[in-house]
Amino acid sequence: MFLDTGFLKNEEIQLVLEKTVDGNKEKNWVPAYHFSISDLCGTRMGVCDLRIGYNDNLYFGGHIGYRVFTEYRGNHYAGKACLLLFQLARKHNMEYLYITCNPDNYASRKTCEYAGGKLLEIAQLPEGNDMRAGGEFEKCIYKFTL
């Protein structure tokens, strides 16, 4: 199920596999890869993950998550990581991905635009969605055609 990820690098960054997580049908979770975003010398600058497959939860939760550590922000590392993750998603025969963020997270919105996403909507999270328990009520839904 999980593929080799050694090719996930460019002239500036590499994605270093930290772990994989199997899906859980009972919880409606899909399998996922978890990476560190590192420079070519191995300095860890952030983290990202890719969820493989499709289900209703991913429309609001997204296929990709990312976080760049404060001292490395402003270099498009999250966007560059997304572009690399798109390659892995294609190897899993995925045709599109969603990335979501809070409407007031302007850095993440810029990342989605940098990576070529199309804003589909700013959606209200449905009642019962787990993210509501954390105080979130809306998500920007970006779609990426692979």
Q: CB–CB of 50/88 below 8 Å?
A: yes
Structural domain includes residue 73: yes
Flag whether 1 is in a domain. Answer: no
| Residue 104 within a domain | yes
pLDDT value for 78: 98
The CA-based angle 8-83-136, given to 5 degrees, is 115
Structural domain tally of the chain? 1
The confidence score (pLDDT) of residue 28 equals: 86
Residue 58 belongs to domain spanning: 13-145
- The tens-digit pLDDT sequence of the chain (146 residues) is 899 999 999 999 999 999 999 999 888 899 999 999 999 999 999 999 999 999 988 999 999 999 999 999 999 999 999 999 999 999 999 999 999 999 999 999 999 999 999 999 999 999 988 899 999 999 999 999 99
pLDDT in the model for residue 20: 98
Instruction: Examine residue 5 and state whether it is found in any structural domain, yes or no.
Output: no
Look at residue 64 and tell me if it is in a domain: yes
pLDDT of residue 137: 95
Predicted local distance difference test score (pLDDT) of residue 1: 87
Per-residue three-class SS string for the chain: CCCCCCCCECCCEEEEEEEEECCECCCCECCEEEEEEEECCCCEEEEEEEECCCCCHHHHHCCEEEEECHHHCCCCHHHHHHHHHHHHHHHCCCCEEEEEECCCCHHHHHHHHHCCCEEEEEEECCCCCHHHHCCCCEEEEEEEEC
- Asked if residue 4 belongs to a domain, the reply is no
User: Which CATH number fits the domain that encloses residue 113?
Assistant: 3.40.630.30
Inside any domain, residue 17: yes
**pLDDT given at position 27:** 86
